[in-house]
Amino acid sequence: MSFQPVKFYQTGTFTVGNRLLAPDERSEQANPQRSNSINSGHRACQGCGEALGARYAIDAAMAESNGQLIAVNATGCLEVFSTPYPESSWQLPWIHSLFGNAPAVATGVAAAMKVKGRKEVRVVAQGGDGSTTDIGFGCLSGMFERNDDVLYICYDNQAYMNTGVQRSSATPPAARTATTMPVGPEPGNVFGQGKNLPEIAMAHGISYVATATVADLRDLEYKVRRAMGIRGARYIHLFVPCPLGWGTASHDTIRMARLAKESGMFPVFEAEHGEVTGVLKIRHKVAIEEYLKPQKRFAHLFGKHAHPEMVERLQAIADRNIRKYGLLDEGSN
């Protein structure tokens, strides 16, 4: 199980200061020698979950690989805001090729390292949900199936943000995007079958799959380090709220990620060889409304022309996640 129960809560908010932890349990961000892989000066929006997630994830991967890391980036917000020519925020070797080929490019980098006998050099590939669940899906599945030595991190902000918030196959039902407008009898995105990429990754039987959110950055760091300790294809699906695309306050990014987890909308778990081995339990269960209401992309579900039936269907999705992954402790609220 990934969550480290820390008993001496200072504030009752489940946070704990680094000073109270043993040095090897501290966040990599508390390390003055951290790699600062994605340096200041990039152009992400204020409160961008993706920028925050990438910072924690890549610094942790750098720490775990002793700085022997190469990153491959798909086209998307992370790529665009980090490398406007002639500036680059990246302090590690980094390549961007296309929107849909990051997993394959990473396979190539890993193959080159293998053929050159440079076992110590590790490879991470990263992309948004659009890149991962849609256009790069074939390349990702190929990389998984061959079990290439790549850690792939999906930054899931639930839409094509870089092109102006269009629907991807990771966009939740009912959400407003530029291509799923809140008009007509069933406003927003359709209630489809969903495309659960962590589970699809698990179905490939790869050695490690995990989900995480930017509300639990220590959990994210732990999972990245864990993944880096394993060879072969690995997948981390990171939930990263996007203030611009979701219509949320930029100071609410972490709160939104926490509510996604606490409502059951985004299950946080890890799996080995296709089997779930641990979940982050819900601490204070919240109703789905609490997660939906602060987000303008769901505004049409509430107010004058409310759609309580759609809210109910979303609640049903969260409830199903809770049952399926066992997100609630027996007897808890």
Ligand X SMILES: Cc1ncc(C[n+]2csc(CCOP(=O)(O)OP(=O)(O)O)c2C)c(N)n1
Tally of CB atoms within 10 A around 19: 7
Looking at 52, 58, 161, 310, which residue binds ligand X (CB under 6 A)?
161
Looking at 65, 73, 82, 168, which residue binds ligand X (CB under 6 A)?
168
Nearest residue to ligand X, using CB?
Answer: 128
The interface with ligand SF4 within residues 155-174 (CB under 6 A) comprises 157, 161
Nearer to Mg ion, 296 or 323 (CB): 296
For residue 279, what is the enclosing H or E element? strand 275-279
- Say if CB 117 and CB 201 are below 8 A apart: no
- Say if CB 70 and CB 92 are below 8 A apart: yes
Question: Mask of contacts with other proteins, 30-69, x by CB under 8 A?
Answer: -------------------------------------xxx
**At closest approach, how far in Å is the CB of 37 from ligand SF4?**
17
Binding partner at 244 among ligand SF4, ligand X, other proteins, none, C-beta below 5 to 8 Å by kind = ligand SF4
Tokens of 138: 């074939």
For residue 125, what is the enclosing H or E element? strand 122-128
> What radius of gyration, in Å, describes the C-alpha atoms of the chain?
19
104 binds ligand X (CB under 6 A): no
> How does DSSP classify residue 131?
I
Q: Of 70-78, 247-255, 256-264, 270-278, which part binds other proteins (CB under 8 A)?
A: 70-78
C-alpha 298: how far from its chain's center? 21
Cβ within 8 Å of residue 287, ≥6 positions away: 263, 315
Rounded Cα–Cα distance for residues 82 and 145 (Å): 30
C-alpha 244: how far from its chain's center? 17
Nearer to ligand X, 123 or 238 (CB): 238
Looking at 56, 81, 152, 239, which residue binds ligand SF4 (CB under 6 A)?
81
The interface with other proteins within residues 108-147 (CB under 8 A) comprises 108-117, 121, 138-139, 141-142, 145-146
Amino acid letter, residue 265: M
Tokens of 1: 């199980």
The interface with ligand SF4 within residues 82-121 (CB under 6 A) comprises none
Instruction: Count the residues of the shown chain that bind ligand SF4, applying the rule CB under 6 A.
Output: 12
Binding partner at 142 among other proteins, Mg ion, ligand X, none, C-beta below 5 to 8 Å by kind = other proteins
Rounded Cα–Cα distance for residues 225 and 60 (Å): 6
**At closest approach, how far in Å is the CB of 20 from ligand X?**
35
25 binds other proteins (CB under 8 A): no
Binding residues for ligand SF4 (CB under 6 A) = 44-45, 48, 50, 77, 81, 157, 161, 242-245
